[in-house]
């Protein structure tokens, strides 16, 4: 079968390997659609994993949808032919962190995956991923392309739940890529009073407006001043950082109103420190928090939003490529021009 091997953002190669062999309690998925995530092009993140594993390449891809084509006879609640989304990470539900609601800090979650990765024609789904609520049978009204967004939208659901995004608040979203667009739509559904979005890319600013932002501003503007101008002389109640640039992190600190929350959905690379005006924050009771990944309850919420058609995901897709053109697909994602979601379609080769 064909796979895509990632060596660097500029070096992603198509290779041939043997199709995975399933064991007891496992199944094999034929991948129909596989989304390229923004984290897939974080070279520092990928290189660190390669170093940890002692390898020179990875098979990435974790936003998949496909069909079960082989299944262990020990599995009774699934069958060949089922259309599924499969979560690559699952928590144990039993450790201290899971019991405190921090499922994405669970050691099991950080060490589970499917084999070999979503940028492949087939993936083997391990027993633990099945047992720990990592498989969703798709409703007939949920397409494969819809299902690709269950995981990224799940991450967005988690962040907004942790930050308690709710009716009446002003939300500032720094970065209008795929995650930013999903945050805009979900915040709108949660009834927020006003949504302001930023980016350095004019195409993405237009898309942010199209998907529901009330105001959009180029990230190089004085965002704090513009925010006050359109928000009754107040800063934001919730600031969601969806860009990994240090400038975005600093902007977030400048745009937080008294009693607000800043949630780092994206962060700068390791070694970069952020200077926080802690005395001012102490006096104004400002909360700084982070959100990583998605847990089963977040995926449940995302699936239900997609099933209900209340969040538009398919129109976020701007490019589709066969697996054989994965290098070209990665180039589109890295250039971040007039693009949002880029999808790989292994069966189109």
The answer to whether 347 and 121 have CB atoms below 8 angstroms apart is: yes
Residue 21 exposure: Cα atoms within 13 Å on the Cβ side: 1
Residue 348 has pLDDT above 90, yes or no: no
Residue 227 has pLDDT above 90, yes or no: yes
The answer to whether 29 and 122 have CB atoms below 8 angstroms apart is: yes
What's the rounded mean pLDDT across residues 47-75?
96
Please provide the average confidence, as pLDDT, over all residues in the chain.
Answer: 97
Copy the structure tokens of residue 63.
């936003």
**pLDDT score for 271:** 93
Closest to 65 (Cα-Cα) out of 47, 83, 89 = 83
What's the rounded mean pLDDT across residues 181-208?
98
Closest to 265 (Cα-Cα) out of 168, 349, 347, 187 = 187
DSSP code, position 139: P
Closest to 261 (Cα-Cα) out of 281, 245, 280, 234 = 281
Give the CA angle between residues 339, 341, 343 to the nearest 5°: 115
String of DSSP letters for 297-327: HHHHHHHHHHHHT-S--GGGEEEEEEGGGHH
Domains and CATH numbers, the chain: 2-149+313-348 (3.90.180.10), 159-290 (3.40.50.720)
**pLDDT score for 332:** 98
Residue 349 has pLDDT above 80, yes or no: no
d(CA 322, CA 33): 10
Q: Tell how strand 256-264 and strand 287-290 pair up.
A: parallel
pLDDT tens per residue, range 286-328: 999 999 999 999 999 999 999 999 999 999 999 999 999 999 9
Percent of the chain with pLDDT over 90: 99
């Amino acid at each position: 079968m064909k796979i895509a091997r990632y060596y660097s953002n500029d070096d992603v190669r198509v290779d041939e390997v043997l199709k995975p062999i399933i064991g007891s309690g496992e199944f094999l998925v034929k991948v129909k659609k596989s989304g390229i995530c923004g984290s897939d092009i974080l070279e520092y993140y990928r290189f660190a994993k390669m170093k940890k594993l002692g390898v020179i390449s990875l098979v990435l891809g974790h936003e998949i949808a496909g069909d079960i084509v082989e299944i262990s006879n020990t599995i009774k609640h699934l069958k060949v032919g089922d259309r599924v989304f499969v979560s690559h990470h699952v928590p144990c539900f039993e450790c201290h962190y899971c019991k405190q609601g921090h499922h994405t800090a669970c050691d099991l979650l950080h060490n589970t995956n499917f084999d070999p990765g979503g940028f492949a024609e087939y993936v083997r789904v391990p027993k633990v991923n099945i047992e720990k609520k990592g498989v969703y049978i798709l409703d007939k009204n949920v397409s494969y392309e819809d299902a690709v967004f269950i995981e990224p939208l799940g991450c967005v659901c988690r962040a907004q739940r942790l930050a308690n995004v709710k009716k009446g608040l002003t939300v500032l979203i720094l970065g209008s890529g795929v995650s930013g667009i999903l945050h805009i739509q979900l915040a709108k559904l949660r009834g927020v009073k006003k949504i302001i979005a930023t980016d350095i890319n004019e195409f993405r600013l237009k898309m942010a407006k199209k998907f529901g932002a009330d105001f959009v501003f180029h990230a190089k503007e004085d965002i704090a001043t513009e925010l006050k101008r359109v928000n009754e002389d107040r800063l934001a109640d919730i600031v969601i950082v969806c860009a990994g640039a240090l400038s975005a992190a600093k902007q977030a600190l400048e745009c937080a109103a008294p009693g607000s929350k800043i949630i780092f959905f994206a962060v700068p690379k390791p070694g970069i420190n952020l200077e926080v005006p802690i005395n001012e924050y102490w006096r104004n009771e400002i909360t700084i928090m982070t959100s990583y990944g998605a847990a089963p309850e977040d995926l449940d919420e995302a699936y239900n939003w997609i099933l209900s058609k209340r969040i538009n995901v398919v129109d976020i897709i701007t490019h589709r490529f066969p697996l054989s053109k994965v290098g070209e697909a990665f180039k589109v994602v890295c250039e971040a021009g007039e693009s949002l979601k880029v999808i790989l379609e292994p069966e189109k080769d």
